[in-house]
Structure 1
Amino acid sequence: MRQHAWRGPRAAVVAATGLGVIAGLTLRTADYAGVLPPGTPDPELGLSLRLVCAAAVLIAGTLAYLTFARKQDEPLAMASLPGLVVTGVVLRHLVVTLPHAADFEPAARITPGSGTWVLLVSGIAMTATGLAAAFAARRAT
């Protein structure tokens, strides 16, 4: 009986983190103070990566809905996968793109924007919630 008490809040967390990803995608993912020289790639998160994150939100939302509809934790356990996708995309943006900002223009001082941090926190929360649901489903069997 106790398992039912936590299923709804876990699904709500996945839905809320999905909204967090959407919010993060609308915010700037890179801040730069200087003017970049002509031909310099835009340090913002690319459109293709934003679309991947948006697709992950759609999947996570569907899994949260299935959790409510079926009253089972198993669909929600799969929310860890879209969470890992979002986290991986943002970590790629942080680790691969931004450290090379000095190659573009040292005076630009490119740093991660607020959208990056919102996306990272949302992706980690979605992953953790999906894993918690997986452990709950495993304990129930």
Structure 2
Amino acid sequence: MEDQRPGGGLRGPRAVLAAVAGLGVIAGLTLRTAEYPGVLPPGTPDPELNLGLRLVCAAAVLVAGTLAYLTFARRRDEPLAMASLPGLVVTGVVLRHLVVTLPGVARFQPAARIVPGAGAWVLLVSGIAMTAAGLAAAFAVRRAG
């Protein structure tokens, strides 16, 4: 029989938060990650998040989804604690995209007024939520142990 610990009832909501954040990442990957009203001149790099980084984010969602499933199947927070790692990967990818890529492209063509698109913001919020769910589970494991 499972131990009755304080805070043990929050395991489900943490796993659901990680799963919803994973769905948010998938939604963010389908949206535009850069908005630019003008046409970029030839030779200017595409400001959208590239395919390789999108695949990394999708793989992180697969890992987070598996960890959320294991949390429900085992009725323990330990697997979900690892969800902070894919959350950090998604957050890192998007921060790199926001901080490095977009200002760099804007230097080539300032008139294009390149700004982050809705997808970048959805990815950032989802990555932070996934990280927070994993960290909350890690603190719950630490308190229980």
TM-score normalised by the chain length of structure 1: 0.98
In 2, Cα distance between equivalents of 1:120 and 1:130: 16
1:79 matched residue in structure 2: 83
RMSD after superposition: 0.8
Matched, 1:38 2:33: no
Q: 2:100 matched to which residue of 1? A: 96
- Letter matched to residue 89 of structure 1: V
Tell me, in whole angstroms, the C-alpha distance in 1 between the residues paired with 2:96 and 2:111: 23
Structure 2 unaligned spans of 5+: none
Q: TM-score, normalised by structure 2?
A: 0.95
Distance 1:35 1:124 in 2: 32
Segment of structure 1 superposing worse, 86-95 or 99-108: 99-108
Alpha-carbon distance, 1:38 to partner: 1.1
Q: Name 1:21's counterpart in structure 2.
A: 25
SS at the partner of 2:93?
helix
Task: Give the SS at the match of 1:38.
Answer: coil
| Aligned length in residues | 141
Q: Is the 8 A contact 1:101 1:109 kept in 2?
A: no
User: Where does residue 113 of structure 1 map in the other structure?
Assistant: 117
Q: Percent identity?
A: 80
Instruction: Mark the runs of 5 or more structure 1 residues left unpaired by the alignment.
Output: none
Deviation at 1:3, TM superposition (A): 3.0
Q: Does 1:70 align with 2:109?
A: no
Distance in 2, matches of 1:106 and 1:118, equals 25
Separation in 1 of the partners of 2:106 and 2:15? 42
Report how far residue 99 of structure 1 moved: 1.1
Per-residue CA distance 1:39-68 (angstroms, 9 max, x = gap): 211100000000000000000000000000
